Amino acid sequence: MDEKLSFFKDGLRLDGRRPDELRPIKIEVGVLERADGSCYIEMGDNKVIAAVYGPREVHPRHLQEVTRAIVRYRYNMASFSVEERKRPGPDRRSYEVSKVSREALASVILTSYFPRSVVDIFVEVLQADAGTRTAGINAASVALADAGIPMKGLISSCAAGKVDGEIVLDPMKAEDNFGEADVPIAMTPGGEITLLQMDGRLSRDEFRRALELAKVGCQQIYEVQRRVLVDRYSSIAAPESCEAAEAEEEA
């Protein structure tokens, strides 16, 4: 069978997307009562939840830093989130994803405001379809904002890949598994890259195109993250500010 036919039909991908199109995104903020900040995200068939605690006291205490807060990130993939049941608990992959995701976010958190404390980020993948690390970073970024953690800006994350010789945005599982390359990135709204990984092989030109495409994807995700936060906090703030305005008028 012609391989080209298997991933593209009339220029569109298996799920009907254009090569430069993201999967549909849905974000909910403040979904967990007992976390300081939380977020649920769907990016295509990925379903991921993030919970943020802190800044709070560091345990064990020897991890404390005198001049700044430390940031911890735990990425966990539920056993039922993947087709072939995943063995519960941490493994090499989850350590790697946790490390790079932590670094992607830590650079924008104003840790010097909270010496001797910790910001803990927990990311749980409930359903996976490739791109879970990027979905986790997007959710964690919104959850950090929801927790009121001071940051230089939100972090947005998505991947670009190569499938049947074409550079595509936000590969889904079939494209990720059988594609030629996968380039997940994370960046600030100003375009500063805080995560850059690559699986597979790309020429210099393909890499440049993949990076540009992923950056455009991140900008689109940033708009959704920003809108969701503005909606959430303007709806919470609105009744109070109305009351305040009414009271002022009456006085």
Residue 217 binds ligand UDP (CB under 6 A): no
Determine, following the binding rule CB under 6 A, whether residue 82 of this chain makes contact with ligand UDP: yes
Q: How many residues bind ligand UDP (CB under 6 A)?
A: 13
Per-state percent for the chain, helix, strand, coil, to nearest 5: 40, 30, 30
129 binds ligand UDP (CB under 6 A): yes
What angle (nearest 5°) sits at the alpha carbon of residue 23, between those of residues 149 and 215? 60
Nearer to ligand UDP, 88 or 165 (CB): 88
Rank residues 26 and 227 by Cβ distance to ligand UDP and give the closer one.
26
Q: Which of residues 155-184 bind ligand UDP (CB under 6 A)?
A: 173, 176, 182
Stretch binding ligand UDP (CB under 6 A), from 47-55, 106-114, 127-135, 237-245: 127-135
> CB of residue 127 vs ligand UDP: minimum separation in angstroms?
9
Residue 58 DSSP class: -
**Which of left, alpha, beta for 16 (phi over 0: left; psi -120 to 50: alpha)?**
left
One-letter-per-residue 3-state SS of 122-156: EEEEEECCCCHHHHHHHHHHHHHHHCCCCECCCCE
Told to check if 74 binds ligand UDP by CB under 6 A, we report no
- 168 versus 229: smaller Cβ distance to ligand UDP: 168
d(CA 145, CA 141): 6
Reduce the secondary structure of 181-229 to three states and give it as a string.
Answer: EEEEEEECCCCCEEEECCEECCCHHHHHHHHHHHHHHHHHHHHHHHHHH
Among 7-15, 64-72, 126-134, 200-208, which window interacts with ligand UDP (CB under 6 A)? 126-134
C-alpha closest to that of 230 among 146, 157, 139 = 146
With CB under 6 A as the contact rule, which of the stretches 53-61, 79-87, 143-151, 206-214 interacts with ligand UDP?
79-87
Nearest distance in Å: CB 9, ligand UDP: 23
Q: Is 137 left (phi over 0), alpha (psi -120 to 50) or beta?
A: alpha
Contact (Cβ atoms closer than 8 angstroms) between residue 93 and residue 133: no
Out of 131, 161, 179, 217, the residue judged to bind ligand UDP by CB under 6 A: 131
Per-residue contact flags (x/-) with ligand UDP for residues 11 to 50, judged by CB under 6 A: ----------------------------------------
Among 17, 47, 133, 162, binds ligand UDP (CB under 6 A): 133
Gyration radius of the chain's alpha carbons: 20
Binding residues for ligand UDP, rule: CB under 6 A, are 82-83, 86, 93, 128-133, 173, 176, 182
